[in-house]
Each structure stands twice: as C-alpha cells, then as structure tokens.
Amino acid sequence: MSLRLILVSASLAALAACGAPDPDQADRAPASRPAPAQAGAPVLTVAQIEAGVPQAPAAPGTAAPSSAPAPATAETGAPAPATPPDAGLVRLQILLDRTPFSPGMIDGLAGDNTRQAIAAYRKANNLGSGDAADAALLQHLAAADTARVMTQYVTTAEDVAGPFSPPAAGELADIARTGTNFTSARERLAERFHITEALLQGLNPGVDFRRAGQTIVVPAVTDTPLAGVARIVVDKTERSARAYDAAGKLLAFYPATIGSRERPAPSGTVTVTGVAPEPDYTYDPERVSYDRGDRKVVLPAGPNNPVGTVWIDLSRDTYGIHGSPDPSKIGKTASNGCVRLTNWDAEQLAAGVKPGVVVRFI
C-alpha cells in the first residue's frame, strides 16, 4: 500500500478546513524576470559561521548595524534584506535545528521563533530559564553535537529540472491549473537546507541556481525523523508544538502558526487518526466557514500546496497539523484553524506519530 493511502479517503476531505492560503499569500504578485547573478563577497564566510558566537542584543535606542546594499539575486533580481545576518546566530540556529528544537527558518536573525526554541532547549536541558543566545548555550549545543554546521553541496540536474510553478496568485482555480511545485531551483534548495533564499544567495554570491554542477555552501542539517511520539502539546499562546514520548520526555519543539481570532484552533484534547504524505488540498464551500468562492476546487499535491508536504489528521473533523508553502511566515501569521509548521518540521513530526497519539491544545 502506498504511504499516501495511510489516511483513508474520507479523512482526506478534511484538508478543506484550514489550508486556505493566507490573503497575502494568495494574492502575491508573480516574481520578476530572472536576472543574471552578480559576484561579490559572501555576507558571511564558512569560517565565520563555524566559529561564530551570537552578538549581544543592541541596547534600547541603538541603531542596528548597517550593511552595503546587497547585489541582485540570481533568480529574482531583487536585493536581499538590508539587515546583516549574525554568524553566531546562523551557527546556533543550525545546532538547534539538529537537536531538534526548531528555530524555523535559518536566517541568522534574532526573532521569536529562535528565542522560543532557545527557551525550550534551556528548560529541557536544565540550563535555566530565559531565551538568551549566549556563549554558554552555544558551548552546550556544540559539546553535544561536534559536527561542522556548514557543508558543501553540488547542485544536480534533478535540482534544476523542475517542474516549477509560478508564485501562487489569484483564484484557487488558477493555482490548481498552474500547480503547487516550487517556484525555482533556489527555493527548492533553500527548503531542503532549511534556510531563507536571501541567506542562501548571500552565502553563495554569483551562483546561478538554475544551473547544475554549482558547488554551494549550505547548512549541514540532518532531517532525522522522530520516533516514539506519544503526546503532542499545542500551545496557542506561545505558538508552538511540542512532541513527548511515553515517559514524558520532550523530544522536539516546533514554532507553529495556530488558528486565528476568526477561526480559532480547537481546544481540549483530540487524537491523531492518520498521516497523509503529499496530500491534495480540497476547497469545498459546503464544508468550510471562509469564502474562497462557491465552487469546489482541488489543488494538486506539491510543496507549495496550502497544506504543504504532509497532513497529520486529527479526530476533530477538518482539523490537522500540516506543512506550509511559506516557511518564513510560521509563527508570524494566522491560519484557518489548523496547526501549520514548516514542511521539514511537519515531515519530521509525522514520521514519529501513529493513530491514537494524543494532541492537547492549551
């Protein structure tokens, strides 16, 4: 039996409830025409990252360090963000990602997802409270995981071959017609290595990600599946999902997007009923409470499907834990009631669950 059939077809219809694209995602304008890559110095070197220690937060009222305008990127022609990444935070985020106390996307920038992952890791490892990204925390992480945090990768023909889809825009029927694949080889590689496209390009200036045979530097992520998940706690206030084993040990922490004021996530306790890798997404106006038109639309499976690359079905009808087409928004926007993780975090969690696993919403 195909893995995709682990979840019965009746439950697959539940994907209609919470996978609707966020308004700002559904109406994104198409990317601009690709521009040639421009060579230059990388925003950070591998040596800087391998030896990096997070910088102390700037004092209130202190201006953030500035950087020169970034060169045009290889596939969109748009400049990278002006805020320079912190080598120490890149290193810390990679080490957290491998624990796995996920910081979400690796970007080298301070943010709530990284702070919450730090706080969870500290508590789980008896390192005190708080969310400070200091040298002591980094030493603890590095002592437990001595492998290098950066590695090299050579782009392959498969990486660049596609098929690719245009950025999601317009009506659901338009997205169904154009597909839900990655929009570019660079987006595919960024997701594979859990890194933002801006930082991936910044670490590899002059690289045209549309070409095979390019040697690039990337985070040395591991994607180790979880095993033995007995209980999941979804914290709607913290915007996180935590996985525990049968003995109560915290196995993993993930930042999450969880419902909204208009369409809140469930409360109380539910259970996992199954897992659907590479799910379709069905919008059925007879089953949902938000308006995306009056016609039933089925979007094909793909990493930029509204529910991402995997769906963990819950016993509350039409609700689940699932992936996302836009990992940069995890923990920062609302959802239509479900629990949304990055695709790689959702896949890792899905590998460790089975029907009957308890999911508690607090």
Q: For residue 49, give the DSSP letter.
A: H
Residue 135 has pLDDT above 50, yes or no: yes
**Could you tell me which residue, 29 or 177, shows the higher pLDDT?**
177
Work out the average pLDDT over 171-177: 91
Residue 283 has pLDDT above 80, yes or no: yes
Residues 6+ apart with CB under 8 A from 250: 120, 124, 242, 243, 244
Note the pLDDT of residue 134.
85
For 22-53, how does the pLDDT look when each residue is reduced to its tens digit (9 = 90+)?
544 443 333 333 444 566 899 999 999 999 99
What confidence category does residue 16 fall into, taking pLDDT thresholds of 50, 70 and 90?
very low
pLDDT band of 263, cuts 50, 70, 90 = low
| Token pair in block for residue 62 | 């202190």
42, HSE (Cβ side, Cα atoms, 13 Å) = 17
Question: Does 297 or 168 have the greater pLDDT score?
Answer: 297
Binning pLDDT at 50, 70 and 90, where does residue 318 land? confident
Q: Residue 126: which residues within 8 A CB-CB, separation 6 or more?
A: none
In a domain, 191, yes or no: no
- CATH number, position 268: 2.40.440.10
The answer to the question of residue 139 being in a domain is: no
Residue 171: its pLDDT value, please? 87
Task: Say if 157 falls within a structural domain.
Answer: no
CA-to-CA distance for 274 and 322, rounded, in angstroms? Answer: 12
Domain annotation covers residue 9: yes
How far apart, in whole angstroms, are the C-alpha atoms of residue 198 and residue 80? 5
Distance, first Cα to last Cα, the chain: 36
- Domain presence at residue 75: no
Lowest mean pLDDT among 169-183, 192-206, 213-227: 169-183
CB 335 within 8 A of CB 212: no
Q: Which domain holds residue 312?
A: 3-28+224-361
How many other β-carbons are positioned within 10 Å of the β-carbon of residue 1?
5
Report yes or no: 323 and 225 within 8 Å, Cβ to Cβ. no
* Residue 101 domain-assigned (yes or no): no
CB atoms within 10 A of CB 227: 9
Helix H or strand E segment including 118: helix 112-124
As given in the structure block, the two tokens for residue 30 are 């198409």
More confident residue, 189 or 25: 189
Identify the pLDDT of residue 225. 93
**Residue spans of beta strands (DSSP E) within the chain:** 150-154, 215-219, 231-235, 240-244, 250-255, 257-258, 268-277, 281-283, 297-299, 310-314, 320-322, 339-340, 358-361
Asked if residue 210 lies in contact with residue 185, where contact means CB atoms within 8 angstroms, the answer is: yes
pLDDT at 179: 96
Query: Considering only CA atoms, which of 133, 115, 105, 112 is closest in space to residue 200?
Result: 105
Tell which residue, 222, 192, 221, has the closest CA to residue 209: 192
Which of 3-12, 144-153, 179-188 is predicted least confidently? 3-12
Strands 310-314 and 297-299: unpaired
Distance CA 114, CA 133 (A): 9
Q: Provide the percentage of residues in the chain whose pLDDT is more than 90.
A: 69
Lowest mean pLDDT among 69-73, 248-252, 339-343: 69-73
> What pLDDT is stored for residue 78 in this prediction?
44
93-107, 121-135, 262-276: range with highest mean pLDDT: 93-107
pLDDT of 334 above 70: no
CB 69 within 8 A of CB 82: yes
In a domain, 310, yes or no: yes
Give CA–CA dist 133/119, Å, rounded. Answer: 9
Over residues 50-59, mean pLDDT: 82
What is the average pLDDT across 160-188? Answer: 94
Task: Give the total number of structural domains in the chain.
Answer: 1
Mean pLDDT of the chain: 85
The proportion of the chain whose per-residue pLDDT surpasses 70, expressed as a percent, equals: 78
Cβ burial 72-89 (10 Å sphere, 16+ → b, else e): bbbbbeeebeeebbbbbb
Distance of CA 199 to the CA centre of its chain: 15
User: What pLDDT band is residue 9 in, cutting at 50, 70 and 90?
Assistant: very low
Q: How confident is the model at residue 236 (pLDDT cuts 50, 70, 90)?
A: very high
State both tokens at 1.
Answer: 């039996």
Structure pTM?
0.86
- Tell me the pLDDT band of 15, cut-offs 50, 70 and 90: low
pLDDT at 11 over 80: no
Residue 336 has pLDDT above 70, yes or no: no
Helix residue ranges per DSSP H, 264-355: 343-351
Answer yes or no: is 203 within a domain: no
